Amino acid sequence: MSEDRYLTFALAKGRLADKTLELLAQIGISCGEMYDKKSRKLIFVNEEKKLRFFLSKGPDVPTYVEYGAADIGVAGKDTILEENKRAYEVLDLGFGACRMCVCGPASAKELLLHHERIRVASKYPVIAKDYFYNKKHQTVDIIKLNGSVELGPIVGLSDVIVDIVETGSTLKENGLEVLEEICPLSARMIVNQVSMQMETERIRNLISQLKNVVDKDY
């Protein structure tokens, strides 16, 4: 469609945004000012290619995309599942690979095996609930935490946790282990459903260029 309209990207602030910018640079899309770490500016424009980029908190990316404030977003699969917003997930960008797991002390294995009514602490209550209720058909009590979730079983708040495991060192250092794997995670590109119809060619073209780079890299 029209080349005059800006395509807007919402990027999850931090490592995911940095990696996404590296990827975009590989297909010739740059946004100079955005690489300045000291800058507090939140929105950046590439006039030549009619692209706009803004940085937001990870969990807000699917919200911006669902409402069409951003045409395209890049966020972790964990965030996408947890926020459960309407958008097309179009590309696995490969980086930020890790796993969503049920973790706890080895002694909690029995509780899982026997489908006991256990307490589950997590930053991801939606994912935890979906896993235990819909996939395992196990009734559990879910306790929402905001970080350092590994503390849950250590201080007696919960029996297990549902959390991201990357290297596994946080678990190890706290005497916990992976008990069950829920799903693999990585950075994903999502697209607003209306934008996909209105800007099909531009967006498809972008996806296929990125896919070529991603397939080469990972």
User: Where do contacts with ligand PRP occur on this chain (CB under 6 A)?
Assistant: 123, 147-150, 163-170
Min dist CB 101 to ligand PRP, Å, is: 9
d(CA 156, CA 119): 10
The length of the chain, given as a count of residues = 218
Show the DSSP H helices in the chain as ranges.
15-26, 61-66, 77-83, 109-113, 125-129, 151-155, 169-173, 193-198, 200-217
Alpha-carbon distance of 188 to 107, in angstroms, equals 35
The distance of closest approach from Cβ of residue 99 to ligand PRP in the complex, given in angstroms and rounded to an integer, is 9
Phi, psi of 166 (to 5 degrees): -105, -75
**At a CB cut-off of 8 Å and minimum separation 6, what does 148 contact?**
none
- Closer Cβ to ligand PRP, 134 or 169, answer by number: 169
Taking the least distance from each CB to ligand PRP, the nearer of 164 and 207 is 164
Cβ nearer to ligand PRP, comparing 186 with 209 = 186
Smallest gap from Cβ 117 to ligand PRP, in A, equals 24
| Smaller CB separation from ligand PRP, 71 or 163 | 163
Query: Which of 67, 92, 90, 71 minimizes the C-alpha distance to 11?
Result: 71
In angstroms, give the least distance from the CB of 214 to ligand PRP: 22
- For the CB of residue 152, give the shortest distance to ligand PRP in the complex, in Å: 11
Q: Which is nearer to ligand PRP, 147 or 156 (CB)?
A: 147
Q: Phi/psi at 94 (nearest 5 deg)?
A: 85, -35
Mapped onto helix, strand or coil, the DSSP state of residue 73 is strand
Quick one: 103 or 214, whose CB is closer to ligand PRP? 103
| Dist. CA 218–CA 215, nearest whole Å | 6
Name the minimum Å distance from CB 55 to ligand PRP.
17
* Residue 200 DSSP symbol: H
